[in-house]
Amino acid sequence: MIIAGFEVADRTHSRVLQSPLAAPRTGLMLHYDDSSRDDWAVEWFHDPRCTNGYTWLVLDDGRVVELADPAMRTPHAGPCRTPRANSAYYGVAAATNGLVPATEPQLVSLARICAAVIRHHGWAVGNAQAPTLDQRIVGHDAEALWTSAYTSHRELWGTLGRKVDPTGQRPDKRPIIDLVELRHRVERSL
């Protein structure tokens, strides 16, 4: 499936399994891939040890690599507040880590991807009957739940905190991807 409205520099579908959707798409989940170099980031998704994947990976210079067919789900979310999150949300990642903020070209491309997907689906936003951009564009950290597969601390099961992306872990609290600002960019382009 091709989604018009942004340019894909490379369609290098990763070796990570793609599966048919198990739920309708409802939005986009933003991530960072925890890489420190773009070439290593792309290589990782072809490594046999890699078990996660995204639909699109945005490199430092803003180029977009399509890692999976947008019509398929990828293992980007894991257990989340939203059931079947791997299907409900497209997985979109900036090639960076928890300390290095996304570059301006990455932010421009992320906003283009989000706006193009919203247009592609004809999703209304901003009226009383439609989900808001806050519901259409979410961070992994706002969705990812602890389960027994990730911790033996039962008191954490079912709670948020399993992931920190796209906010990150900077001591100055500057987000790696500022979702409030990104949503404003998307809103201005719709």
pLDDT, tens digit (0-9, with 9 covering 90-100), for 68-89? 999 999 999 999 999 999 999 9
Q: What is the CATH number of the domain that holds 118?
A: 3.40.80.10
Q: Examine residue 107 and state whether it is found in any structural domain, yes or no.
A: yes
Strands, E, within the chain: which ranges?
Answer: 10-11, 19-20, 27-32, 56-58, 64-66, 72-73, 89-94, 137-139
**CA 92 – CA 94 distance, rounded (Å):** 7
Q: Examine residue 5 and state whether it is found in any structural domain, yes or no.
A: no
Q: Examine residue 29 and state whether it is found in any structural domain, yes or no.
A: yes
Q: Examine residue 2 and state whether it is found in any structural domain, yes or no.
A: no
Average pLDDT, integer, range 134-162: 94
Number of domains in the chain: 1
Q: Provide, rounded to the nearest whole percent, the portion of the chain with pLDDT above 90.
A: 81
Average pLDDT, integer, range 92-120: 97
> What is the reported pTM?
0.94
Note down the domain range covering 150.
10-189
Q: Examine residue 4 and state whether it is found in any structural domain, yes or no.
A: no
